[in-house]
């Protein structure tokens, strides 16, 4: 059925004021290509403290494959302790404007619950604790004419990182805050 013949519960025609072009009449169609391709890489892992609580800091490199501009990325990262299949954290970060590539640091809390569970399940004699990381998010980028565009990242990037045994031991020695269980 042609668009002008579709029923509309609000009245005659498809939308008030809408008229389909006559048959054979050319129409302008904008073909939208997806958001730019991004590559993520874990550059470093270290233990530390934030507000007197133990944290794990992940240094992550983010690069646009075509070298173009990115106005902002709302990045979500899920970290799992691989051998135990234990979910460590799901954290969000806002990556500011960059061209080509940038680095950011993600801070993961190391709460009592994760420390106790991981401590029971992890073999620490082989150089480190393997971590699985999954990244996804929303990209804000300039379109062809400079107008802002937004898109769901066309990737679900997964990678691994090794938390060195010394960093893990440092996390275990920092006293956790009282009442912190998750």
Q: Is residue 97 part of a domain?
A: yes
Q: If you ran DSSP here, which 8-state letter would residue 121 be given? A: H
Q: Is residue 165 part of a domain?
A: yes
- Residue 162: pLDDT band (50, 70, 90) is confident
Q: Is residue 152 part of a domain?
A: yes
Q: Is residue 86 part of a domain?
A: yes
**pLDDT value at position 50?**
76
Residue ranges making up the domain that contains 149:
34-173
For 74-103, the pLDDT digits (tens) are 999 999 988 778 888 999 999 999 999 999
Lookup: tokens for 139: 């990209």
Instruction: Name beta bridge partners: 58.
Output: 45, 106
Q: Is residue 143 part of a domain?
A: yes
Rounded to two decimals, the pTM is 0.72
Query: How confident is the prediction for the chain on average, in pLDDT?
Result: 77
CATH number of the CATH domain containing 53: 2.60.40.1820
User: Which has the closest alpha carbon to 60: 80, 81, 74, 39?
Assistant: 39
Q: Is residue 25 part of a domain?
A: no
29 has a pLDDT exceeding 70: no
Q: Which residues contact 56 (CB under 8 A, 6 or more apart)?
A: 45, 46, 47, 48, 88, 107, 108, 110, 163, 167, 171
Give the total number of structural domains in the chain: 1
Q: Is residue 52 part of a domain?
A: yes
Three-class SS of 16-84:
CCCCCCCCCCCCCCCCCCCCCCEEEEEEEEEEEEECCEEEEEEEEEEEECCCCEECEEEEEEEEEECCC
**pLDDT value at position 67?**
95
**pLDDT value at position 27?**
42
| Mean pLDDT in residue range 120-137 | 78
113 has a pLDDT exceeding 50: yes
Q: Is residue 4 part of a domain?
A: no
CA-CA distance, 119 to 102, in Å (whole number)?
34
């Amino acid at each position: 059925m042609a668009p002008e013949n579709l029923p509309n519960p609000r009245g005659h025609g498809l939308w008030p004021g809408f008229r389909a072009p006559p048959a054979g009449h050319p129409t302008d169609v904008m073909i939208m290509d997806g958001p730019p391709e991004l590559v993520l890489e874990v550059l470093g892992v270290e233990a530390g403290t934030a507000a007197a609580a133990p944290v794990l800091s992940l240094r992550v490199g983010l690069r646009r494959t075509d070298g173009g501009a990115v106005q902002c990325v709302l990045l979500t990262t899920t970290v799992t302790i691989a051998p135990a299949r234990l979910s460590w954290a799901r954290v969000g970060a806002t990556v500011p404007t960059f061209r080509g590539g940038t680095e950011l640091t993600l801070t993961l809390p190391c709460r009592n619950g994760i420390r106790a569970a991981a401590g029971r399940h992890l073999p620490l004699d082989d150089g480190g604790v393997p971590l699985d990381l999954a990244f996804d998010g929303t990209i804000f980028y300039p379109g062809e004419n400079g107008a802002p565009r937004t898109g769901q990242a066309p990737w679900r990037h997964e990678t691994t990182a090794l938390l060195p045994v010394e960093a893990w031991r440092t996390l275990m020695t920092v006293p956790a805050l009282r009442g912190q269980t998750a």
